Chain A
Amino acid sequence: MPQIAQLSATYASQIFWILLVFGFVFFVIGRGMVPKVMQTVEARDKQIAADLAAAEKARGAADAEEEAWRKRENENRAQAQAIIAEAKAAAAKSTEGRLAEVGAKLDARIAEADARIASARDAAMDEIEDVAAQAAGDIVSRIAGISVDDAAARAAVKKSMVIG
Chain B
Amino acid sequence: MAAESGKVDPMHQFTIEPLFGSGGWEIAGYNIAFTNSSLWMMISAAVLFVFVAGGLKRELVPGRWQMAVESFTGFVDSMLAANIGPAGKKYVPYVFSLFMFILFANVLGLLPLAVVPGLHAFTFTSHFSATGVLAILSFSIVLVVGFWKHGFHFFSLFVPHGTPVLMIPLIFVIELVSFLVRPFSLGLRLFVAMMAGHVLLEVLSGFVINGLNAGIGIGPVVSVLSFILMIAIVALEFLVAGIQAYVFALLTSLYINDAENLH
Contact = CB atoms under 8 A, between A and B. Distances in A.
Tell whether A pairs with B: yes
Interface of A: 1-3, 6-7, 9-19, 21-22, 24-26, 28-31, 33-41, 43-44, 47
A26 B220 CA distance: 49
Contacts of A9: 31
B247 interface: no
**Chief secondary structure at chain B's binding surface:** helix
Given A14-B37, A17-B38, A37 B31 contact: no
Interface string B109-120: 000000000000
Given A3-B129, A18-B130, A37-B55, A13 B42 contact: no
B188 to A, nearest CB: 11
A3 B14 contact: yes
Contact of B53 (A17, A33, A35): A33
A47 B128 CA distance: 46
Given A12-B31, A12-B32, A19 B48 contact: no
B73 interface: yes
B94 interface: yes
Contact of B38 (A11, A21, A39, A40): A21
B129 A11 contact: yes
B15 A21 contact: no
List the 5 closest A-B pairs by CB distance, nearest first.
Answer: A30-B93, A30-B97, A12-B30, A17-B38, A14-B129
B195 interface: yes
Contact of A35 (B14, B33, B93): B93
17 contacts: A2-B16, A3-B128, A10-B37, A11-B129, A12-B30, A14-B133, A22-B101, A26-B94, A29-B45, A29-B96, A30-B97, A31-B93, A34-B73, A34-B96, A35-B92, A37-B58, A43-B60
B129 A10 contact: yes
Interface of B: 11-12, 14-16, 18, 27, 30-35, 37-38, 41-42, 44-45, 48-49, 52-53, 55-56, 58-60, 62, 66, 69-70, 73-74, 77, 92-94, 96-97, 100-101, 124, 126-130, 133-134, 137, 191, 195
A29 B16 CA distance: 27
Contacts of B97: 22, 25-26, 29-30, 34
Contact of B41 (A17, A30, A44): A17
A35 B42 CA distance: 22
B44 to A, nearest CB: 8
Given A2-B14, A3-B14, A17 B35 contact: yes
A41 B49 contact: no
A14 B34 CA distance: 9
B30 A18 contact: no
Given A22-B101, A34-B52, A14 B127 contact: yes
Contact of A17 (B32, B56, B134, B137): B32
A21 B43 CA distance: 10
Contacts of B77: 38
A14 to B, nearest CB: 4
Contact of B70 (A2, A24, A37): A37
A28 B101 contact: no
Interface centre among A9, A37, A43, A44 (most CB of B within 10 A): A37
B11 A6 contact: no
B11 A1 contact: yes
B186 to A, nearest CB: 15
Contacts of A22: 41, 45, 97, 101, 133-134, 137
B128 A16 contact: no
